[in-house]
Amino acid sequence: MKYQLGEGFWSQKIRQVCDRMIPLQLSILKDEEPDTEPSHALENFRIAAGLSEGEFHGMVFQDSDIGKWIEAAAYRLMIAPDPELEREIDGIVAILGKAQQEDGYLNTWYTIKEPGKRWTNLQDCHELYSFGHLTEGAVAYHQATGKRAFLEIMQRMADHIDTVIGPEEGKLHGYPGHPEAELALYRLYRETGNEKYLKLSRYFLDQRGQAPNFFEEEWERRGRINFWSGKKDPVNLPYYQAHQPVREQEEAVGHAVRALYLYTGMACVAAETGDAELAEACRRLWHSAVNRKMYVTGGLGATVHGEAFMGNYELPNDTAYAETCASVALCFFSRAMSLMERDGKYGDAAETALYNTVLAGISLQADRFFYVNPLEVVQGVSGVQEGLKHDLAQRPRWYACACCPPNVARLLTSLKEYAVQDQGSEITVHQYLDGSVECEKAALSLKTNYPWDGDLLYTAEIRDDVKLYLRIPAWAEPENVRLTVDGAAVPVCPEKGFICLEPGKGRHEIRLCLPMKPRRIYAHEQIRQDAGCVAFACGPLVYCLEGCDNPEPLWNLTADPEGELSMLDPDGSLPDGIRKMVIPGHRRTDASESLYSGRRPVYEPQKLTAIPYYAWANREPRDMRVWIREG
């Protein structure tokens, strides 16, 4: 599909990524950005290629940043040509080619730092993870330009892996410690048609968690030493989603990003092969992650300890982890599930993640980044006290572990793939992406100010008979949704979240009007952290209170359960037409100096002002809360 940017919300965000994030990240990867810790990611490849001298610097998976950046840049080229950007990528690819070993092996950590220890620690050392991100970058660059050099580099690496790992005698019977290669091999298979790559992807999935457990055997061979701690720590199999075969797993556990990358690979392979058992496992794990362990903002992974899922309904706000990468990965998983079956719940979850935690991961100027996305911040406490140091009140410029910024970049520059699914005679609209999309049998152009209003106007040029499926968001009550085709009203009776239209050949105007009224959200009764509290949303946007607009401390504010919610016109305090919400409420004003008192608190009327969650921490540092006491 070919996509042309429009003038609305997502087009503005994508332009920011193209014009600011991608050049900034390249400057950082090349160690050219002032006042920023050197990445050394490209320099590692130069050293491995014999073009520079020096030591390896960075994380064991530092190579992956190059792969993600090239993938984002490739999608940028699909939006509009950029000869200079293409020359930059070609120069990097040439360095990677020189760094590749004769047998196809490509990994700077083991080439520079531990050349004799290849494939000795699949559990922790990310050889397959880095391969995966480089491969996804190679596939995207081939799709964008037709150039094969990078693709052939990664095919040689994939062929090398196939000689080292697999079911045959003499090979390692292992799989990735950090899933990613499963999805990358699937994409490499789709791009090249070589079924060997699909077979290897499926092997990684099916071998995971089998007895005897490969990670335990590998740990024994390493003298029971954990790579990260340097200590004799036992293998935490659930952390790696390696505690059971994937087809038997019932609950989303362990490191959240690893889990969601794994589930994405599972769903892609299930959709490609028609594997019903694997598909059913994906449905179970989807239900566990989204319906039991997801924050209202689309964040996943509740604890800093292992960047992991907690138990069902355990969703603390002030210690939340909710890594940006996990919400990006939820979008990957959603798309993969949509390839498997059409159900609006997948688009609903992706929409929540996109408009909230994913966008909160980048500043409004697209030059600073959150790794962790809490739902409550208190100045002087968050980011300072033990147990809360991960929950920062301001976005840093960069990270030593810089997985999140390029992950957001590659997601947003490829957003057309998540918005519209072209299956020839069926076109499914999952997300409302303004601009124009050219499909096989039709062209769709969307003009909208969504999410600031719910009026979506499609102009459809239908060249052949097709069915057009439009997702009706779960938050939009069908009785309040209006749909017309060429001015004629169409009944809105969604099936699994979608309306099906058959407009026929020719030019058509399709208008979808969604009710964009502010609303309250209440948490499940088992989420103890949110008992007695309420959150607020309008359309897909979850709102939060920030100290810039409200009297602090925010914990002394309560929302009126009967008060009428209203939206304000943009006031200029935040850019890009951001609209605030007004919430009738109260403020506790008693001034007792006693630590405890028998005096009943006094509450005075107070208008509370909320902003979209993605826009917080873009002004002076202040307190923030998503969930507010109601009463």
Quick: pLDDT tens for 232-274. 999 999 999 999 999 999 999 999 999 999 999 999 999 999 9
**What CATH number does the domain containing 476 carry?**
2.60.40
408 contact partners, CB below 8 Å, separation of at least 6: 17, 21, 324, 328, 358, 361, 362, 369
Average of per-residue pLDDT across 302-323:
98
Residue 477 and residue 499 in one domain: yes
| Whether the Cβ atoms of residue 461 and residue 442 lie closer than 8 Å to each other | yes
Residue 522 and residue 625 in one domain: yes
Number of folded domains that form the chain: 2
| Distance, first Cα to last Cα, the chain | 50
The answer on pLDDT for 591 being more than 80 is no
Q: Find the helix packing angle between 83-99 and 149-164, rounded to 10°.
A: 30
- Residue 103 covered by a domain: no
Residue 461 and residue 533 in one domain: no
* pLDDT for res 340: 94
Average of per-residue pLDDT across 155-170:
98
More confident residue, 77 or 591: 77
- Residue 492 covered by a domain: yes
pLDDT band at 593 (very low <50, low <70, confident <90, very high): confident
User: Is residue 90 helix, strand or coil?
Assistant: helix
- Residue 569 covered by a domain: yes
Residue 621 and residue 525 in one domain: yes
Residue 488 and residue 526 in one domain: no
Q: Find the helix packing angle between 404-413 and 9-16, rounded to 10°.
A: 130
- Residue 236 covered by a domain: no
- Note down the domain range covering 590: 518-630
- Residue 528 covered by a domain: yes
Residue 562 and residue 487 in one domain: no
Q: What is the pLDDT of residues 350-388, one digit of tens each?
A: 999 999 999 999 999 999 999 999 999 999 999 999 999
213, 219, 224, 227: CA torsion to nearest 10: -130
pLDDT band at 476 (very low <50, low <70, confident <90, very high): very high
For the four alpha carbons of 344, 346, 348 and 350, in that order, the dihedral sign comes to: negative
Task: Give the residue numbers marked as catalytic.
Answer: 307, 403
Residue 501 and residue 596 in one domain: no
- Omega cis (within 30) before 553: yes
Average of per-residue pLDDT across 79-98:
97
Residue 544 and residue 480 in one domain: no
User: Is residue 590 helix, strand or coil?
Assistant: coil
- Residue 467 covered by a domain: yes
In 18-140, DSSP assigns E strands to none
Q: Which of 456, 491, 513 is the last residue of a domain?
A: 513
Say whether pTM exceeds 0.95: yes
Q: Residue 470 and residue 457: Cα distance in Å, rounded?
A: 12
For the four alpha carbons of 304, 309, 314 and 318, in that order, the dihedral sign comes to: positive
- Residue 94 covered by a domain: no
Q: Which of 479, 513, 547 is the last residue of a domain?
A: 513
Q: Residue 369 and residue 435: Cα distance in Å, rounded?
A: 27
* pLDDT for res 385: 94
- Residue 487 covered by a domain: yes
Residue 524 and residue 577 in one domain: yes
Q: Would you give the DSSP letter of residue 119?
A: T
Strands ordered across the beta sheet of 498-501: 420-422, 426-429, 467-471, 498-501
Q: Residue 222 and residue 260: Cα distance in Å, rounded?
A: 28
Residue 625 and residue 558 in one domain: yes
For the four alpha carbons of 375, 380, 381 and 387, in that order, the dihedral sign comes to: positive
Average pLDDT, the chain: 96
Residue 494 and residue 575 in one domain: no
Q: Which of 513, 529, 547 is the last residue of a domain?
A: 513
Residue 477 and residue 525 in one domain: no
